[in-house]
Amino acid sequence: MTYAFSPSSMLCTTHTSNVSSTAASSNGQADEYDEQQRGLRLGFIGCGTIAAAIVTGLLTQTEVQVSSVIVSRRSESKSTALVEKFGNEKIQISDDNQFIVDNCDILFLCVLPAQEEQVLTHLKINEEKILVSLVSTSKLETLRKNSGLDPDKIYKMICLPAVAQLEGTPILVPHSTNDGVKDLLSTLGGGTCIECENEDIMESMMVPTAMMGPVYGLMRQSRDFLIKKGVPAKDASQMVGRQYWAMVKDALMRCEDPDSLDDLIEEQTPGGLNEQTLKNLEGVGFLNSYNDAMEAVLQRIKGETDGSMKSTV
């Protein structure tokens, strides 16, 4: 099924190719149909890693029609790469934030936290626009104040770069008041977008997204261990990458069951290497430190601390 949107109403409708001649004969109805056929216009202020991933995902998916995307020039390497990948007919680069706002239906804010207020307060945003902030420290009330938009036009979304491949899980707050926004953003997660009840829930759910770096750190540790033991670097890299993928895939296949991770641990061979390694790590406080790191991240997200932990090294 392909979705078409009327940007003025942002209501999702099912599009079919059978348009009656009666409807087409009316100029007003024909204009409305042409608008739906046009698809959504998307604007991105800021074009870093996450913005580029979202653009790639939304222009790759086929469920929701996207007619055009305008992105900020910075970072120029990423905006230029997007144009090279999708072409000038689909993507335009602009140095003018107001131009981006004026020529989009949904505006994605992808700037640094320190830039958010300055960027928004210098823009005139039409009341019909939808604002989706990807700024990690954004607060809905602050977005409302600085943008002038009504609360039902403002969202905060968090996702990881895997959305470029339509994988991962976008998380959104608040619950979408129209199906169009969720339908669009769900395409980034292969049909999944988790809507949070409130900002406290969103902030807690942001914590695992900050564990991407630590996971890559563990993988690097495993790779370097193998290399030190004489394994060729390419073999070590391939083995670690594919092994972690296989483990994550097992968890993904069962993720609808809240007890699945407990079950996967219970399935480890009694007295085996995996069971022993887990006990060793628990014994030296590794998992407790991991939990402490998550608490520190949450405190930073909430603005309570700078997120630092006391070093034990």
Residue matched to tokens 């070590």: 236
Angle of the 76-86 helix axis to the 49-60 helix axis, nearest 10? 10
Determine phi and psi for 71, rounding to 5 degrees: -125, 155
pLDDT value at residue 294: 96
Q: How much of the chain is in helix, strand and coil states, percent to nearest 5?
A: 55, 15, 35
Identify whether the C-beta of residue 48 lies closer than 8 Å to the C-beta of residue 110.
yes
pTM of this prediction exceeds 0.85: no
Residue 16, pLDDT above cutoff 60: no
Q: What is the pLDDT of residues 110-164, one digit of tens each?
A: 999 999 999 999 999 999 999 999 998 899 999 999 999 999 999 999 999 999 9
Question: Binning pLDDT at 50, 70 and 90, where does residue 240 land?
Answer: very high
Distances (CA, A) of 125 to 104, 203, 230: 10, 26, 59
- What is the C-alpha separation between 20 and 44, in angstroms, rounded? 36
pLDDT digits (tens, 9 = 90+) for 276-287: 999 999 999 999
In the prediction, which pLDDT does 156 show?
A: 97
Paired sense of beta strands 12-14 and 3-5, if any: antiparallel
In the numeric block, which tokens belong to residue 195?
């809507």
At 31-72, the pLDDT tens digits run 443 444 579 999 999 999 999 999 999 999 999 999 999 999
**What's the token pair of residue 160?**
């990881």
Positive or negative, the Cα torsion across 53, 58, 62, 67? negative
pLDDT of residue 2 exceeding 50, the answer is: no
The pLDDT-based confidence of 10 (bands split at 50, 70, 90) is: very low
CA angle 32, 43, 124 (to 5 degrees): 90
The mean per-residue pLDDT over the stretch 199-220 comes to: 95
Distance of CA 194 to the CA centre of its chain: 11
